[in-house]
Amino acid sequence: MSGDLTVELAGETLCLLPERAVHWRSTLLIADTHWGKAATLRANAVPVPHGTTAEDLARLSSALARTGAERLVILGDVIHARQGRSPATLGTLARWRERHPGIAILLVRGNHDQRAGDPPEELGIRCVDAPFAEPPFVYRHFPHESREGYVLSGHIHPAIKLYGGGLQRATLPCFYFGRRVGILPAFGGFTGMGRIHPGPEDRVYAIAGDEVIGVSNSD
């Protein structure tokens, strides 16, 4: 896809996808799906739209198909909360899994996973605690450095504010790569964003529609 962007990191070549995912070798990495968040809010009488999980899964299917990835690594926070484990949400996930039985899935647990519980066994997701090393990378949910390698993480839902002519401005989800830690954007479309303030040596790549673009790290 023309909107993908290839970067070098820790001696490896990574492809950043506008689907809010990273493709490395045969693996697709995502973070912070927060599936069931809308169901959680509805359970608390907050009127929010239906179908957000299905939309995310369609985007995930597209990324898997066009990259040919054979494995999916999720860097924490698969299900938003216990109330999000609704029959509708779990049924949507189960039907998606039935269409992708050959994809190996690894979840590195995050803080929401500790509260919501591991996904149902029938989804075939291997669940592990952080850190999980796969040299030269270390997978974890929280963006903390590791002596074992370069950390790929989530949790922050990073976003960068961009300015244009005519007082235009936009806050976009982004990939952030610091000296020892990288943070992926939240994969879930029904999540908030946390604005980052990168340092002079940090690299930031924003997702602008169907394109990943490198941006200046000036605030």
pLDDT given for residue 46 in this prediction: 43
Phi then psi dihedrals of residue 133, to 5 deg: -90, 135
Mean pLDDT of 162-186: 88
Could you tell me which of 212, 190, 192, 159 has the C-alpha nearest to residue 57?
190
Beta bridge pairs of residue 157: none
Q: How confident is the model at residue 143 (pLDDT cuts 50, 70, 90)?
A: very high
- Whether the CB-CB separation of 182 and 176 falls below 8 Å is answered with yes
Dihedral pair phi/psi, residue 181, rounded to 5°: -140, 135
pLDDT of residue 113: 87
pLDDT confidence tier of residue 189, bands split at 50, 70 and 90: confident
Angle 52-67/87-99 helices, nearest 10 degrees?
Answer: 20
Is this prediction's pTM over 0.75?
Answer: yes
Q: Where exactly are the structural domains of the chain?
A: 5-215
Six token digits for residue 165:
């002519």
Do the beta carbons of residue 67 and residue 23 sit within 8 Å?
Answer: yes
Report the top-level CATH class of 5-215: alpha beta
SS3 73: strand
Residue 209: per-residue pLDDT: 93
User: In Å, how far from its chain's centre is CA 88?
Assistant: 22
Q: Which residue has the tokens 């976003």?
A: 159
Average pLDDT over residues 175-194: 91
- pLDDT tens string 40-56: 544 554 444 555 789 99
Q: How far apart are the C-alpha atoms of 150 and 154, rounded to whole Å?
A: 13
